[in-house]
Amino acid sequence: MRWLSALISQRGVYLMLFWLSPAIVAWVTSYTCYYIGISLDASNVFTFLPTIQIIQEPIRLIADTAAVFIEQGWR
């Protein structure tokens, strides 16, 4: 029962990472631009948002990869 509970908890973390990873990447990139001093005017933002949408699926694959490592660790 303990093994099953741990596996389900890790799956919950995996799903949260899966759905939040694009937002986290967008936030970190925006913060980095602010920290470095890159101006966030309309031309930069409207270029940045489609780029994030294009790389959204590969970013979500990071969570899938983490899930595989989690499942392999329990076997």
- Polymer length of the chain: 75
Give just the sign of the alpha carbon dihedral 64, 65, 70, 75: positive
Q: What's the rounded Cα separation, in Å, for the pair 24 and 60?
A: 11
Position 33 pLDDT exceeds 80 = yes
| Tens digits of residue pLDDT in 35-44 | 998 888 888 8
Domain ranges of the chain: 2-73
Check residue 36 and give its pLDDT. Answer: 92
Q: What's the rounded Cα separation, in Å, for the pair 52 and 54?
A: 5
| Tens digits of residue pLDDT in 9-29 | 877 887 887 778 778 888 888
In angstroms, the first-to-last Cα distance of the chain is 15
Measured at the CA of 15, the angle between CA 10 and CA 31, to 5 degrees, comes to 110
| Amino acid at the residue 39 | S
With a pLDDT cut of 90, the percent of the chain lying above it is 3
Predicted TM-score of the model (pTM) = 0.54
